[in-house]
Structure 1
Amino acid sequence: MATPTMPPDPRGPRPRLLMCPPDHFGIEYEINPWMDVTQGSDAAIARRQWQALREAVVALGAEVELLEPAAGLPDLVFTANAGLVFRGLFLPSRFRFGVRQGESPLFERWAREHGFEVVPLPEGMYFEGAGDALFCGETLFAGYRFRSDVRGHQWVGERLGVSVLPLELVDPRFYHLDTCFCPIAPDAAIYYPGAFDEYGRSVIRDQVPRLAEVSAEEAASFSCNAVVVGRTVVLNRGAPKLAATLGAMGFDTRPLEFSEFIKSGGSAKCLTLRLDGEEAAAWKSSPAAG
Structure 2
Amino acid sequence: MPPGPRLLMCPPTHFGVEYVINPWMEGNLASTDAATAATQWNALHAGLARLAGIELIQPGDGLPDMPFTANAGLVIGDVFVPSCFRHAQRRGEEPLFTEWATHYGFTVRKLPDGMHFEGAGDALLDRGSPRLWLGHGPRSDPGVEAGLAALFDIETVALRLVDPRFYHLDTCFCPLAGGWLLYYPPAFDTDGIGAITARVPESRRIALSEQDALAFACNAVNVGRSLVVNQASASLQATLRAAGFEVIETPLGEFLKAGGSAKCLTLRLDES
TM-score of the two chains, using structure 2 as the length reference: 0.95
SS in 1 for 2:239: helix
Does 1:256 find its partner at 2:250?
Answer: yes
1:177 maps to 169
1:46 maps to 37
Does 1:164 find its partner at 2:156?
Answer: yes
Instruction: Report the Cα offset of residue 227 of structure 1.
Output: 0.2
Instruction: Report the Cα offset of residue 153 of structure 1.
Output: 2.3
From the CA coordinates, give the structure whose radius of gyration is larger.
1
What amino acid is aligned across from residue 38 of structure 2 in structure 1?
R
Encode CA deviations 1:103-131: one digit per residue, 9 max, x unaligned. 00000000000000011111121111000
Encode CA deviations 1:205-250: one digit per residue, 9 max, x unaligned. 2212211111011100100000011100001124322211111101
Contact 1:58 1:64 survives alignment (8 Å): yes
Q: 1:57 aligns with which of 26, 48, 54?
A: 48
Contact 1:169 1:196 survives alignment (8 Å): yes
Distance in 1 of aligned mates of 2:186 and 2:265 = 24
Contact 1:221 1:239 survives alignment (8 Å): no
Instruction: Report the Cα offset of residue 163 of structure 1.
Output: 1.1
Distance in 1 of aligned mates of 2:30 and 2:237 = 30
SS in 2 for 1:24: coil
Contact 1:138 1:186 survives alignment (8 Å): no
What is the count of residue pairs matched by the alignment?
266
**Structure 2, unaligned stretches of length 5 or more?**
none
Distance in 1 of aligned mates of 2:236 and 2:116 = 32
What amino acid is aligned across from residue 118 of structure 2 in structure 1?
E
Distance in 2 of aligned mates of 1:258 and 1:173 = 17
What amino acid is aligned across from residue 19 of structure 1 in structure 2?
M
Distance in 2 of aligned mates of 1:176 and 1:242 = 22
User: Root-mean-square deviation (CA), in Å?
Assistant: 1.3
What amino acid is aligned across from residue 264 of structure 1 in structure 2?
A
Instruction: Report the Cα offset of residue 13 of structure 1.
Output: 4.1
Encode CA deviations 1:235-273: one digit per residue, 9 max, x unaligned. 112432221111110111001101000000000000000
Percent identity (aligned): 52
Distance in 2 of aligned mates of 1:122 and 1:150 = 13
Distance in 1 of aligned mates of 2:194 and 2:226 = 27
1:72 maps to 62
Instruction: Report the Cα offset of residue 59 of structure 1.
Output: 1.4
Q: 1:28 to 1:112 in 2, by over 3 A?
A: same
**Structure 1, unaligned stretches of length 5 or more?**
1-11, 282-290
1:3 maps to none
User: What is the correspondence of 1:29-178 to structure 2 with a 5 Å cutoff?
Assistant: 29-36=19-26, 37-38=28-29, 40-60=31-51, 62-136=52-126, 137-178=129-170
| 157-166 or 65-74, larger mean C-alpha shift | 157-166
2:266 maps to 272
What amino acid is aligned across from residue 114 of structure 1 in structure 2?
Y
Contact 2:212 2:233 survives alignment (8 Å): yes
2:187 maps to 195
Distance in 1 of aligned mates of 2:7 and 2:90 = 21
